[in-house]
Amino acid sequence: MELQFLGTSSGTPSRARNVSGLALHAPGSKHWYLVDCGEGTQHRILRTNYSPMSLRAIFITHIHGDHCYGLPGLLASAGLLNRSEPLLIAGPPAVERFVRGVMESTELRLPYAVEFAHVAPGWAISSLPDFRVEVAELSHRVPSFAFTFVEKSIERRLDIGKLERDGIASGPGWGQLQRGEDIALPDCRVARSADYLLPGRRPRKLIVAGDNDTPSLLAAQAQDAHVLVHEATYTEDVLQKVGPGSQHSSARATAAFAEEAGIPNLVLTHFSPRYQPAGNGSPSMADIEAEARAAYQGSLFLASDLQRYTLDRHGVLAAVPLPNAS
């Protein structure tokens, strides 16, 4: 599984960071998925290997502009590329109102269908090719959600020793058993697939959260999750100054929750533009990192734009070296 950040800034873009966007891709899939789509997301996509043509679905965590103002332009560009496949947009109902309103007021006509799913507590979707997706409701100034992506296609492995012990000869029948089909044996016995499949590995599970001032709302989703992507808009001291009305999380609060929930990989994002690159002034990204490290013992990452991460089958998250700054 691959994650690539398209934007990691809160509220407004900076020269180094765009507003929110995250690309997801399952190994071998011809599709990819987008979580949030701030203004300029399509510009970032131009700097990746992804295309608006193969985008299968867009998930919008909440209706604030830094998470959705890139939608109309991305839809329009996919139309100019002559996309014909339907595109799913899942998010709070306001997202459909926003997109349909813009399409109408700006006379945007698309050569493909846009399908909307209204996200609410308990919503889930199992019909996408690569992931089962669930939501958890968060706490922010507007309805905000986390999307949990659970990998769908776990390799099935046959118990070869048992097959041999039971005298089932190798051949096309093994393939059928592996695909989940029962087979009739030459001696009229029936071999049931379920009896010869080894227990599957745990599916990879990734949580991508929208803006949220209460990370513990993710406690149920966090069980068995391999990765949490969550905002850390401020350090604790700045959050105290800004006040609770912003309804954002500090690096400390997010990290403390991930520690308590036992999530092995934590990726922080959605940083206030006031945080400078480390060594470039104060407050800095180093402050965010130090605060999070003090509260969290797992693998910690601070996302940056265009950074790619791979999550392997063992649940290990690793940053992919960037070829060049672009």
Q: Is 50 in the site for a second copy (CB under 8 A)?
A: no
Residue 310 interacts with a second copy (CB under 8 A)? no
Closest CB 18 distance from a second copy, rounded Å: 7
Q: Which is nearer to a second copy, 108 or 319 (CB)?
A: 108
Contact flag: residue 72 with a second copy (CB under 8 A): yes
Tell me, what amino acid is at 29?
Answer: S
Given phi > 0 = left and psi -120 to 50 = alpha, else beta, which region is 289? alpha
* Distance of closest approach, residue 166 Cβ to a second copy, in angstroms: 59
**Residue 18 contacts a second copy per CB under 8 A:** yes
Angle, alpha carbons 100-39-205 (nearest 5°): 90
- 279 is written with which tokens? 């060594």
Residue 118 counted as an annotated binding residue: no
Q: Are 248 and 231 in contact (CB under 8 A)?
A: yes
What one-character DSSP code corresponds to residue 218?
G
Stretch binding a second copy (CB under 8 A), from 14-22, 165-173, 191-199, 277-285? 14-22
Q: Which two tokens stand for residue 58?
A: 């867009």
Quick check: 210 binds a second copy (CB under 8 A)? Answer: no
Q: Longest C-alpha distance within the chain, in Å?
A: 78
Check binding of 107 to a second copy (CB under 8 A): yes
- Tell me whether residue 66 is one of the annotated catalytic residues: yes
Of 66, 130, 213, 287, the active-site residue reads 66
> Does residue 247 belong to the site contacting a second copy (CB under 8 A)?
no
DSSP 8-state secondary structure symbol assigned to residue 28: T
48, 69, 264, 278: residue in contact with a second copy (rule CB under 8 A): 69
- Give the Cα separation of 3 and 23 in Å (integer): 6
Closer by beta carbon to a second copy, 291 or else 305: 305
Measured from the CB atom, the residue of 9 and 307 that comes closer to a second copy is 9
**64 annotated among ligand-binding-site residues:** yes
- Report the distance separating Cα 110 and Cα 210, nearest Å: 28
Q: What tokens were used for 262?
A: 């036992």
Residue 40 interacting with a second copy (CB under 8 A): yes
With beta carbons less than 8 A apart as the criterion, state whether 166 and 141 touch.
no
Close Cβ partners of 103 (under 8 Å, ≥ 6 residues apart): 72, 75, 109, 110
Rule CB under 8 A: say whether 193 interacts with a second copy.
no
Buried-state track 23-49, b at ≥16 Cβ within 10 A, e below 16: bbbbeebebbbbbbbbbbbbebbeeee
Binding residue (CB under 8 A) for a second copy from 29, 77, 139, 284: 77
Catalytic positions, please? 66
Binding residues: 62, 64, 66-67, 140, 211, 270
Binding residues for Zn(2+): 62, 64, 66-67, 140, 211, 270
Footprint of a second copy (CB under 8 A) = 11-15, 18-19, 38-40, 42-43, 46-47, 63-66, 68-70, 72-73, 76-77, 80, 94, 97-98, 101-102, 105-108, 142
